[in-house]
């Protein structure tokens, strides 16, 4: 079968208007009409995915529609899968975070805003 530019445009526009199983079955019928090597030819000239065409051929020959798992790929809602509550206490009873007991991660800036030995210039170590 000769693939003219008008036929390519027609097939692509028709495939784009269809969704899901109807699209795959349409693609499978078009590939079947292309004859020998139709899957590869449709992939090369029309940009169709051969896996989708193969799935459509299976649906066409068996009469069974393959269910799309599109909704299964989305993130689950919070009502379906609630997050585990976070506790502020460790299993041994120690308090996590909060106030008091902060350690400085870097020394105060040099340049002498506060003389050494004052509360601002010292690094407190909490043990």
Cα separation, 68 vs 91, whole angstroms: 44
- pLDDT score, position 86: 66
R_g of the chain, CA atoms, integer Å: 33
Among 36-45, 77-86, 95-104, 114-123, the range with the most confident prediction by mean pLDDT is 36-45
% pLDDT > 70, the chain: 62
Is the model's pLDDT at 66 over the cut of 70?
yes
pTM as predicted: 0.54
């Amino acid at each position: 079968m000769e693939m003219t530019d008008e036929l390519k445009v027609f097939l692509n526009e028709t495939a784009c208007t269809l969704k899901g199983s109807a699209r795959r079955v349409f693609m499978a019928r078009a590939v079947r009409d292309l004859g020998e090597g139709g899957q590869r030819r449709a992939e090369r000239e029309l940009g169709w995915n051969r896996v989708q065409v193969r799935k459509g051929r299976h649906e066409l020959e068996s009469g069974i529609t393959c269910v799309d798992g599109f909704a299964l790929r989305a993130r689950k809602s919070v009502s379906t899968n609630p997050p585990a509550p976070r506790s502020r206490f460790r299993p041994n009873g120690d308090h996590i975070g909060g106030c008091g007991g902060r350690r400085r991660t870097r020394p105060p800036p040099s340049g002498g805003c506060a003389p050494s030995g004052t509360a601002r210039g010292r690094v407190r170590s909490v043990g």
